[in-house]
Every structure is written in structure tokens, then in C-alpha cells.
Amino acid sequence: MITASVLVLFGIGLTAAVILAVASKLLYVYEDPRIAQVESVLAGANCGGCGFPGCAGAAQGVVEGKAGANVCVIGGDSVAAKVAGIMGLDFSATEKQIAFVDCTGGVRAEEIYQYQGARDCRAQHLLYSGAKMCPEGCLGYGTCVTACQFGAISMGPNGYPVVDPNLCTACGSCAQVCPRGVISIWGMTARITHVNEVNDCLAPCRQRCPGQINIPRYIEQVSRGDYAGALETIRERIPMPLSIGRVCPHPCEGVCRRGNVDEPVGINMIKRFAADWEMNSGTRLPITCAPDTGRKVAVVGGGPAGLSCAYFLRRLGHAPTIFESMPKLGGQLRYGIPEYRLPKAVLDWEIEGIIGLGIDVKFNQFFGKDFSLESLAEDGYEAVFLGIGAWMNLNLRIDNEDAVGVSTGTEFLTKVGLGVDTGIGKKVVVIGGGNTAIDAARTSVRLDADVTLMYRRTRDEMPANMDEIIGADEEGVKYLFLAAPTRIVTDDAGHVTHVEYIQMELGAPDASGRRRPVPIEGSETLIEADTVYTAIGQKPELSCLYDDSGTCTLEETRWRTLGADPDTLQTALPHVFTGGDMHTGPALVITALGEGRKAARSIHQYLNEGAPHVPANMQRDMIDYTMFTHVPDVGLRERSTMPHLIECDERTCSFKEIEGAINEEQVKHETCRCLRCGLTCYNRDLAEGQTCDAEECLKNQ
Ligand code: FAD
């Protein structure tokens, strides 16, 4: 009996022990010891600024991979380094983030809603969907200011939030409470790789700029005397403000709303002022780069497109190498555009700053001869950017085009750029109406030649920049309009003596919209010449893409350019990208710089994510509703003029730079002329006839 009871008790005890053992296995909660370790090094303020419920939550977030080493928004770099040490993370790989307010519009946006006393952005948004006519703009009640626990946001003088980058911890509270998405938390990588989206605050100038520069922002920064900030803004889109400030035909100014009042803002003058300010200070502003990734990318061609691509790849942390066929970098900026428009010393200073970021360069390396896509792959380059420009000249297709004394305008300008003998004579005829023709003509004048520029249409149809056409006029270049060459006449030694041309008249418009020149039968005439420069167009030299069997793995378009996806610039080979004149055909420096950045962006995505991509709402064309033709109630203010450094008669015997920069007083005046346009708003607070006083003007902004 006793034995049976003992056995029962033993059985119960055993069962209980088994149940407890199983339960302890099932119910055991493992806590990663790193959570406690991470928590112990955090600041301990339990402020919640990181977005987690207190420091314990933040530590758990780090261990679960939901946050990085810099989770603690008040701990700074020393705390982040300790967290990284515990977690085995690379602290150097973290990038500083900052709150960014992309609305500088304001009091002048139309107030079209009744407020009824609600002084909070979210309440306003819920009740009326917004206070301003602009569909995207800031409501201006400062809910973000109260949301910020670090005192990093305050309301600026114009009623819009201003972020203090030194106090901002990028905790994101401001962005969370903003009902209009005006505030975002951005790091350098995100800013550099951002492309215009239709709901960004895109003033017309910013929409039109092929480089997508945030023009309103840098004008506003210059107006406050923050020249360094302005350059940082510009350099997030292009690496060459000095060069662009001198040679850009500024398409942005063509759509400036100020042009509907009096004249467009001198946007490019303002950019040049800021760029010259840095160069003349003799000190380079720091340019930040993301931590090294060590990923090797080959950039073929060291013109604006290649330089821009290499610069942005470097800023994104990668390791670009430029392969350039010539002995120096710069492409047409060096070998096309003459010294008097862009001094080589200025170009050199600008390029040194780019290369100084840590970009490797290999000179005298000709793609298709010295190296190929295959050899680059063998050498460990994971992606390739092709940007070799458009260096093949179009022929006139007339008799004796190869006579002695006849060459192309670009060959002539390249020789001048290299400083070698050009063999120029005394009587020069330049054939063409674009920038190359004008540059060849004005350069010939400086080499003591008598110059006639022959063009088959009229002055009105000339594709060259108007300033250049006027400049050539002032320097004594003679124009022969409505004239097309029919034959080169030579002496017995085969040297050119004359150009025979036929008179033209303008007929119906052609595909380009310009009136087609039609020859007048029997009007052939001779003009004397010992030197002829032809400048009727260029295209990319794509023979380097073909192998010995005549096969090309990439796509050549019917315009003889390299085919690529227009958004990502990726070619038929996934690891090969392109941009600049090679892709667009002859265009502008700003277009080449813009494409260089877009290609760098795509290459960055290709390396990190396997494929490039663009946002669905990317801005491609001008946004219709932002293009006013009428801007009411804005006072008149005269546009500044770019000063000339040397007088007209001194110019023809000198390659000295012609145009100078406006001074500080003029730049303040010019920034005051900016209407601070956003998507729909603009500043109408400037009284007619009011003289420009920068301080007064700023109070008005
Ligand atoms: P490029 O500047 O042509 O650079 C291409 C680079 O690739 C060069 O360095 C070249 O040496 C290199 N390269 C070529 N083939 C190879 C190869 N096989 N292997 C390795 N490297 C190679 N634009 C303006 O905005 N404003 C102006 O005032 C203006 N004036 C101009 C005046 C002239 C005379 C010319 C010719 C052009 C002018 N342009 C102007 C246009 C502007 O210069 C070009 O649009 C711009 O330079 C294109 O940049 P890119 O980098 O695509 O090509």
C-alpha cells in the first residue's frame, strides 16, 4: 500500500518535473546581451528623439537592425562610435542627415482660405487643406518649431521655418508633423541623387536648368551673404560653377518670371559672382564625400560630362578613374572655347578642385585603341561611363574641301588651345553660324587676320549665343549672310585662294522651324581667302565602339549618337552608361554636366541595387500651370550689366578675358530682383520705382 502511494507520488513528481522542464524551454525569453550593452552607452535621456520609446527601445532597435550606430540623436559621434563598436558596425559609413525645408516662398502666396482661428499646420490642413494657393507650400504656423525638442527650427524673418544645421539631430519630428511634406530629412547622398519631381518646389528657372540647379535657393543664400552656402547648393548639382558662370547661355533666364515684368534676373551673373568669390579668396571650400566604397568605375572622356560623372561618383564614395585621350582635362572647355571667354587658369583651378577629391586620371589613353570595355572589365572596373563628346566634323561636300589652308574650326581652336602653330593666313573665311564658327572668327581676329563669317541664313537664324554674335561684330568680324559655299578655288600648289559661294534666299520653314535657305541660280560669287575654317556641325566619333569585325555591342542611333535610356542613361550593356554630347549630340556644357550627375546617380544605384531607377513623378517637361505669362503688381528694377574687363579696341590683339563679374553691391541688387518663385507663388511686395537697398529688400522678402 505504502509502496503504491510512493510510486504514485514519484509519478506525479516526475510528470511535474517534465512539464516544468518543457515549459521552461518553451517560455524562456532570450534577451540579446548586446541590448543592455548598447543601452548602457546611449545618452540616457529617454528623450524619444530617435523615434523609439526611450533608450531601451532604441538599443533594441539597433540590435534588431532597425536603426544604425548613430541612433542616439543627442549622443553625437562618440556615442555612435561606441554603439558601432558593440555591434561590429562601420561607424565611418554613417552619413550626417539634416532637416531640409524646401519652401522659401511665402507671404506672397495667395491666401485663399479662411482660417477661423486655427493656428496649427495640421489643423489647417485638415480643415481647409491648406492656407496658400501653392499646392505644396508651407502653411507657416510653425508646428514643426514646437515639435523640435532640440531648438533647431525657428521661424525665419519671412515667416518660414529655418533649420540650424548645428542643432539639428535629424530626429525627424519636424518632418513627421509637417502636413505638406515641405520638410524632409536628407543626407548628402539623397540630395545628390535626387532628380526633380513634379511636386518639388520647382520655380520655372529650376525646371528649365538642364543641370537641375536649385536656383531660387542659391539666389536666396547669396542675398543673405551666405556665398559658401550658395556654392554648396550649386555643387550639389554641378561641379563647375566657375566655367558655367562664364560660358552658359543660361536657358533658365529665358523662363524667369521677372522677364514678364522687365528683364530676367541675371541668374548666371549671380552664380559667377559666388564662384569667383571663392577662387579670389584663394581658399577652397570643403566638399564632402561619402565614406569610401572602393568600387572602381571607369570614366571615359574628361570633358564636362566625364568630370561631372567622376565628381559625383567620388562624392558618393566610389573610386572613379578618368581615361582621357588628350594631355589635359576639360574637353571642349579647354580645346574649343577660347581663352578670352574662359581663361585656362580659371579652368585649371576648377578642375584641380574636382580631381583633388581623390579622382585618378590616366592621360593620353584613347578608348578603342589603348583600352576597351573588355580590358576595363579585366582590370576590375565594375561600371563604365562613356562621355567622349562629339568631335567628328561634318563635311561641306564641295570641291577642293581638302585643299591646303582649309581645315575645321574645331581643329583650329584645338591647336590654339594646345598652343601649337595654326598656320593661319591673313584673309580668313569662316563657314557656319554656331558657337564654333564665332569662336573661330573671333580667335582669328586676335591672330591678326581679316575675317569674314559666311552663313547661309540671316543673323536672326544664327544658332550662336547672341552675346557672341554681338562681340564678333564689335571686334570687326564681317558677316556674309545668305551665302553658301559651292567650291574652294586653289592655286597650282593646291592652296586655297578663294571661296566660291552662291547667294541664298529664305523659303518655307524646315523641320527645325527655321526658314529653309534656297539658292538663287546664277548668283555665284568669289571671295578671296588664304585660310578657310569650316564649322557646320559635329557628331560623336563612334568608330571606337566597333571591333575589328565591324560589330558594336552598343546601340548607335540614327543621329549617330550613343543610344541609352533617356532617364537612367544606361546603354544596351547594363554596366555601361553615357552622357553629354556623345549621347545628346552637340549641346551645352550645362547639359553635359547635368547628364554626368544623372549617370553617376544611375551607376550608384546599379552598384548598390543592381539596376538604376527613377521616380514615377519625375519632372520631364515644363509644368504647365507654373508658367505664367503675366506677373501683376511687381515694381520695376533695372537688370545689372556684366562689366567688360577690356575695351573693344584692346580686345582684338589680346586673349585676355573679356567679361568680368558684377560686384557685391550689384549682386545684392540682382538677388533683390528675384521674385522668389515657387511652384505658383512669387514675391509681389516690391514697390514700383523703389531703389534697391539690399537691407530694405531683404526685409521685404
Ligand atoms: P567634350 O567636351 O567634347 O569632352 C569629351 C572628352 O572626351 C574630351 O576631353 C576628349 O578629349 C575625350 N575623348 C574623345 N574621344 C576619346 C576617346 N576615344 N578616348 C578617350 N577620351 C576621348 N557650350 C556652352 O554651353 N556654351 C558655350 O559657349 C559653348 N561654346 C562652344 C564652343 C565650341 C568651339 C565648341 C566646340 C563647343 C561649345 N559648346 C558650348 C558646347 C560644349 O562645349 C559641349 O556641349 C560640352 O563640352 C560637351 O561636353 P562633353 O563632356 O560631352 O564632351
Contacts of 105 (CB under 8 A, 6+ apart): 132, 134, 137, 138, 160, 201, 676, 677, 678, 679, 681, 682
* Residue 511 pLDDT: 81
Domain assignment of residue 156, yes or no: no
Say which residue the cell 528623439 belongs to.
49
User: 390 C-alpha vs ligand 1 centroid, how far in Å?
Assistant: 7
Q: What is the pLDDT of residue 28?
A: 65
State how many domains the chain has. Answer: 2
Q: Does 17 map to a domain?
A: no
Distance from the alpha carbon of residue 252 to the mean position of ligand 1, in angstroms: 21
Q: Which of residues 537, 553, 573 is at a domain's end?
A: 537
Rounded to the nearest angstrom, the distance between the alpha carbon of 549 and the centre of ligand 1 is: 29
What per-residue confidence (pLDDT) applies to 1? 55
Q: From the centroid of its chain, how far is CA 217?
A: 14
Taking CA atoms only, the protein residue closest to ligand 1 atom 23 is: 588
Atom of ligand 1 nearest to the CA of 331: 9
79: domain CATH number is 1.10.15.40
| 165 part of a folded domain | no
CA distance 692 to 674: 12
Q: What is the pLDDT of residue 30?
A: 73
The pLDDT value recorded for residue 260 is: 93
Cα(195)–Cα(598) distance, integer angstroms:
8
Is 75 within a domain? yes
Please give the distance, rounded to the nearest whole angstrom, from the Cα atom of residue 306 to the centre of ligand 1: 10
Ligand 1: residue whose CA is nearest its atom 16:
388
Q: Closest ligand 1 atom to the C-alpha of 388?
A: 7
306 backbone dihedrals φ, ψ, rounded to 5°: -65, -40
Q: Among 537, 553, 570, identify where a domain stops.
A: 537
What pLDDT was estimated at residue 430? 98
Q: Which of 684, 578, 590 is nearest to 631 (CA)?
A: 684
From 508, 537, 566, give the residue that closes a domain.
537
- CA dihedral (379, 292, 331, 308) in degrees, to 10, reads 130
Which pLDDT tens digit goes with each residue over 494-516? 999 999 999 999 998 888 787 88
Q: Compute the distance from residue 414 Cα to the ligand 1 centre, in Å.
A: 11
CA-nearest residue, atom 43 of ligand 1: 332
Cα 372 to its chain centre, rounded Å, is 28
Tell me, yes or no, whether 477 lies in a domain.
yes
Cell reading at 50: 530617435
Q: What is the pLDDT of residue 77?
A: 74
Q: What is the number of the ligand 1 atom nearest to the C-alpha of 323?
A: 20
C-alpha cell at 320: 572613379
- 167 is a domain residue: no
Q: What does R_g of the chain's alpha carbons equal in angstroms?
A: 32
CA distance 273 to 376: 41
Say which residue the cell 586655297 belongs to.
496
Q: Which residues are bridge partners to 408 per DSSP?
A: 534
Residues with Cβ within 6 A of ligand 1?
247-249, 300-306, 323-326, 331-333, 336-337, 366-368, 387-389, 391, 410, 413, 435-436, 439, 465, 544, 580-582, 586-590, 592
Whether 102 maps to a domain, the answer reads no
Judged by DSSP in three states, 68 sits in: coil
| Helix, strand and coil percent figures for the chain, each rounded to 5 | 35, 15, 50
The ranges of the chain with pLDDT < 50 are: 687-694, 698, 700-701
**Span from the CA of 304 to the centroid of ligand 1 (angstroms):** 7
**Cell numbers representing residue 340 in the block:** 578670352
Backbone φ, ψ for residue 5 (5° rounding): -60, -40
**Distance, CA 271 to ligand 1 centroid (Å)?**
22
Tell me the DSSP string of 10-65: HHHHHHHHHHHHHHHHHH-----HHHHHHHHHS------TTSSSHHHHHHHHHHTT
185 domain residue, yes or no:
no
pLDDT of residue 690: 46
Q: According to the model, what pLDDT value does residue 617 have?
A: 94
- Strand 538-539 relative to strand 392-393, pairing: antiparallel
Q: Which of 312, 329, 332, 407 to mutate to test the pocket of ligand 1 (most atoms within 8 A of CB)?
A: 332
Atom of ligand 1 nearest to the CA of 390: 3
Distance CA 366, CA 626 (A): 46
Assign residue 653 a region: left if phi > 0, alpha if psi is -120 to 50, beta otherwise? alpha
User: Which of 337, 407, 569 most suits a substitution to test ligand 1, by most atoms within 8 Å of the C-beta?
Assistant: 337
Nearest residue to 674 via CA among 230, 242, 278: 230
- Give CA separation, 148 vs 159, 190, 615, 629, in Å: 17, 22, 30, 40
For residue 499, list its beta bridge partners: 488, 527
Classify residue 394 by burial, with Cβ atoms within 10 Å: 0-12, 13-18, 19+.
middle
C-alpha count within 13 angstroms, C-beta hemisphere, residue 161 = 31
Q: What CA–CA distance (Å, rounded) separates 259 from 237?
A: 25
Which pLDDT belongs to residue 134? Answer: 77
Q: Which of 340, 351, 589 to probe ligand 1 with, by most ligand atoms within 8 A of CB? A: 589
**Are 682 and 631 within 8 A, CB to CB?**
yes
The C-alpha cell at 613 is 531607377
Q: What is the per-residue pLDDT for 234?
A: 98
pLDDT at 701: 43
As beta bridge partners, residue 404 has 495
Cα 549 versus chain centre, distance: 39
For 346-426, list the strands marked E by DSSP: 360-362, 383-386, 392-393, 406-408
577: left (phi over 0), alpha (psi -120 to 50) or beta: beta
Instruction: State the closest ligand 1 atom to the C-alpha of 580, by its place in the atom list counted from 1.
Output: 52
- The protein residue with its alpha carbon nearest to ligand 1, atom 24, reads 588
Beta bridge partners of 618: 197
Give, as one character, the DSSP assignment of residue 316: T
Ligand 1 atom at minimum distance from 439 CA? 34
The DSSP-derived string for 181-250 is --EEEEEHHHHHH---BTTS---HHHHH-TT---HHHHHHHHHTT-HHHHHHHHHTT-S-HHHHHHH---
- Whole-number Å distance, alpha carbon 402 to ligand 1 midpoint, is 24
Cα 303 to ligand 1 centroid, rounded to whole Å: 6
Question: What does 454-466 look like in DSSP terms, one character per residue?
Answer: E-SS-GGG--S-H
Using the mean position of ligand 1's atoms as its centre, give its distance from the Cα of residue 145 in Å: 48
pTM for the full model? 0.88
Domain that holds residue 81: 33-87
d(CA 106, ligand 1 centre) in Å: 41
CATH number at residue 471: 3.50.50.60
